[in-house]
Structure 1
């Protein structure tokens, strides 16, 4: 998560301090600890606050969705519990985006890693606390991130986690669900892209007209280092440079001329927990029309494990 040109690492297993990275000085600063164990959320910036949406607490595999939304105020280094989440819509591992004054929460899972994956879409007003239940997405998914490009929400990657059937990592979701804010409708599946490398626990961001998806976990032991970009104008995919270290459970953040990622887990599941941070200089050149659609390279490592 980026706030005022600094990277914020918030939450994770156990109770952890907020770690803040300043790219201008290449230094980390530890701030206050979270008020309880918080994980499996996607954070969004609203004004001077960071909203932790779709958070869960507790140990694997019986994590519990929070009853209230947690907000962190970076200027005050302070956490607060604000509005309640309707009991029937509580879940974690969902995608969250901020658009036109509202926070949209999509997908998620109601019962830790056991079961209860959902296609839900809700609109939350961070000022009044009002919740609106919107039309379900075409696909249920959890353990993913959502982004906004233009006037559309992209619900991308993830899986339908089912510890109940011993299918925690395998049920990845390849189709991308696209919600059009102008029409308040989900696009038909025939008009939506399909993720070339399905994975969950991924990072996602938007750069220019591209939706960027990277990292993640599947049934393979090591976390994914693949980074793929969907051009929302041409409707085509291309490969971006691979991560130096595959990871999941982290995020992408753009500051200045670089996209950053930090921390996360290096293998499927919860370990090893990484302390490294990487960055990729922008822009990432597109291949010439006559060349391959795959762009190769490596992200630069800003600090080591």
Structure 2
């Protein structure tokens, strides 16, 4: 039996109307994730950063003082770069002027880590670190979301007292050219251990938690998604929550999608492998192919037609630290 195109559309419309779950099984935007095989590997780390500058990928920071791991896409090999001048962890990096800016970060040991008082900058061309502008004392925090938009770096939410508490719903704009800091309207709620992303001129804060080590550091995960319209200066909260609550996630804006990847929570011992995408136009979440191995405490980059991740932690907490790279091809 054959079904003509118009009948097929009517059938799909009726089926869609019967769906009641939040995650809609629409066609995915990536193929399955896979390990990237080569004869070198990065320094294992988590609570770190993963970014691309030019034709190289960079893993930076993490607990302890770890050298930068550099992946050259031309030679397909990892090499080691310079160590940072201080321990830097729990941050989301941005690339500005071919340099990597680290702010909204912590230093020190669990559970009483302290926010770093300065911006730190890594220059990939010279393989050099330097200390940047001072962060206003009353706005310092770690575990925050950080994005770059139109020459300004936005720092959203975070936690001031390591993993013990003092969660913030702050939003600030930092001008890396002048060092100026501007306080912007507070987000609807505090959160830490998450990554932010910009899609179509709007900053999205999704996932994360309010960490309290004394009770359960993996609890208090947040489902609500808060959105800041950079042009109007107003916050809103979406009607639909993140389907899988978790913290320690990676996030990226891709076309008209916000993609939230991996993480950790108190619902399972292994790190989360879920990859969920929000269509910012329809407000619907889609389940995408899961990671080949779950992880938290790292980042995701887009290079040509692939999403790529490296390192991170394979279970909630701090072990095992991973020394691998995975990728998924965009459809």
- Residue pair 1:265, 1:272 contacting (<8 A) in 2 also: yes
Q: 1: distance between equivalents of 2:128 and 2:324?
A: 26
Moved over 3 A (4+): none
How do 1:183-262 and structure 2 match up within 5 A?
183-187=232-236, 189=237, 191-219=238-266, 220-262=268-310
Deviation of 1:208 after TM superposition, in Å, equals 1.5
- Is the counterpart of residue 156 in structure 1 residue 206 in structure 2? yes
**Deviations 1:11-58, CA, capped at 9 Å, x for gaps:** 001111100112343211111011111100110011121100211111
Structure 2 counterpart of 1:170, from 210, 216, 219? 219
- Residue pair 2:201, 2:231 contacting (<8 A) in 1 also: yes
Q: Gaps (5+ residues) in structure 1? A: 284-305
Change (3 A) 1:175 1:27: same
Structure 2 counterpart of 1:34, from 84, 87, 91? 84
Residue of structure 2 equivalent to 1:290: none
RMSD, aligned CA: 1.0
Scaled by the length of structure 1, the TM-score of the pair is 0.90
Rg larger for: 2
Q: 2: distance between equivalents of 1:175 and 1:204?
A: 15
- Residue pair 1:6, 1:255 contacting (<8 A) in 2 also: no
Structure 1 counterpart of 2:98, from 48, 63, 68? 48
Residue of structure 1 equivalent to 2:32: none
Scaled by the length of structure 2, the TM-score of the pair is 0.83
Q: Gaps (5+ residues) in structure 2? A: 1-50
Aligned length: 280
- Is the counterpart of residue 17 in structure 1 residue 67 in structure 2? yes
Q: Secondary structure at the match of 2:323?
A: coil
- Residue pair 1:178, 1:192 contacting (<8 A) in 2 also: no
- Residue pair 1:250, 1:264 contacting (<8 A) in 2 also: yes
- Residue pair 1:73, 1:79 contacting (<8 A) in 2 also: yes
Q: Secondary structure at the match of 1:20?
A: strand
Q: Of the two structures, which has the highest relative contact order with CA contacts closer than 8 Å and spacing of 6 or more?
A: 2
Q: 1: distance between equivalents of 2:104 and 2:280?
A: 27
Q: 2: distance between equivalents of 1:69 and 1:178?
A: 25
Structure 2 counterpart of 1:91, from 113, 119, 141? 141
Deviation of 1:240 after TM superposition, in Å, equals 1.0
Change (3 A) 1:192 1:47: farther
